[in-house]
């Protein structure tokens, strides 16, 4: 009964938010199509559009899937169901993160295949694209974690400001690295120490954020 209820909660969240997810995927595909036009301006607009869609979704999902339950007073009702705090936390993390992982992974794969299929884009840029996209994933996990633990719109907005303001700085530091910048022009994919360190750090932070979110949320007793 409890497992069925957890599955129902996850599927209900996915059902409510399927259109933003579909729109994000469509937006990213259209952005890649714009890059296909060729030229500097279409490339700049397309690349910006590609990442902007993911960033917008990263801001929308936590508010819609977490904060709105507090606003609409549905959270106390959910906690009155025969489900433990741990199970509720797991369901909410799985649904929220899963909703973002689907378009994120889809668009990352699409971008990698796009670069690999076009000679004008060196394959050496693929690791950098993955690292840039992973930074957005880190930002999303931070926003979602803060929203779930604090249940405060103000705190979530603060996390959004921190995340969104850090993207440009992080991307600048990444491409400013001489080794990474040089390997971006390589016709073959190069997994140098620098890019592997960046990716390792990003995914370590993601695991830390999600683990800390689960721990803090599972210890809460007041959901009213």
The mean of the pLDDT values for the chain is 85
Would you state the pLDDT for residue 69? 67
Query: Are 96 and 10 spatial neighbours (Cβ–Cβ below 8 Å)?
Result: no
Q: How far is the CA of 5 from the CAs of 18, 66, 83, in angstroms?
A: 20, 18, 8
What tokens appear for 60 in the block? 């929308």
Would you state the pLDDT for residue 195? 93
List of the chain residues with pLDDT < 50: 1
């Amino acid at each position: 009964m409890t497992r069925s209820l957890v599955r129902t909660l996850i599927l209900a969240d996915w059902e409510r938010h399927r259109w933003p997810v579909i729109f994000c995927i469509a937006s990213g595909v259209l952005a890649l199509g714009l890059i296909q036009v060729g030229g500097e301006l279409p490339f700049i607009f397309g690349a910006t559009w590609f990442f902007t869609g993911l960033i917008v979704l990263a801001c929308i999902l936590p508010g819609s899937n977490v904060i709105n339950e507090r606003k609409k007073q549905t959270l106390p009702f959910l906690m009155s169901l025969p489900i433990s705090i741990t199970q509720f936390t797991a369901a909410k993390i799985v649904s929220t993160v899963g909703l973002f992982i689907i378009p994120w992974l889809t668009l990352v794969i699409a971008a990698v295949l796009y670069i690999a299929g076009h000679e004008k884009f060196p394959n050496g840029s693929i690791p950098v694209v993955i690292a840039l996209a992973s930074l957005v994933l880190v930002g999303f996990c931070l926003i979602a974690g803060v929203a779930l633990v604090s249940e405060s719109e103000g705190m979530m907005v603060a996390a959004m400001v921190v995340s969104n303001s850090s993207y440009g700085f992080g991307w600048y530091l990444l491409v400013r690295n001489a080794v990474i910048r040089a390997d971006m022009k390589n016709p073959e994919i190069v997994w140098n120490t620098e890019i592997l360190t960046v990716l390792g750090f990003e995914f370590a932070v993601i695991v830390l954020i999600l683990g800390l979110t689960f721990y803090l949320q599972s210890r809460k007793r007041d959901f009213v």
